[in-house]
Structure 1
Amino acid sequence: DRKTADDALCRSNKDGAFMVRKSSGQDAQQPYTLVVFYKGRVYNIPIRFIPVTQQYALGREKRGEEYFSSVSHIIENHQKHPLVLIDSQSNTKDATKLCYPARP
């Protein structure tokens, strides 16, 4: 669950620590959440499933977004290329690669 994931990443205290958890809501369109630790914060990024194309995407729907054939491909891509992290409270942006898989 969300609290377990947040706690595990805070304990790791490593920028780029991450895990994938089942989403809190029972929504087939958002089956998972990518949880990332960066600069003392935990970011929860929805992983959306697009039934028409049978692909996955991150965050809210946006123009020009990247699509992935699996959740594993999302992880592999962002281990090489930085993931943009948006803090909705302060409206700031950061970016990190996914570096350290964490366990609950």
Structure 2
Amino acid sequence: MTIDKDTVEKVAHLARLELSETEKENMIEDMSKILDFMAKLNELDTTGVEPLVYMTDGANVLREDVVKQQITHEEALKNAPKHDEDYFLVAKVIEK
């Protein structure tokens, strides 16, 4: 597939990019190389090949969630710059 200047300008517009004439010429080359490579990949026989979801078979190793230090409700409020008897007081950021 060939890429022309109009295609590059359309893609640049959709991506909200401003390209100089030199950059457009470079993009024509680069996009053509990408599409040529994809066409070459489409020539491969992939029957019987399972889709690749993850790069490795490894699974996440998670540690047990263990509480190491606890503070009381009163201790937490004591360190807050503004609070009432139960809650932290913060500036209003959402208007109705």
Task: With the length of structure 2 as denominator, give the TM-score of the two structures.
Answer: 0.21
Structure having greater relative contact order (Cα 8 Å, sep ≥ 6):
1
Larger proportion of strand: 1
The structure having more radius of gyration, on CA atoms, is: 2
TM-score (norm. length: structure 1): 0.20
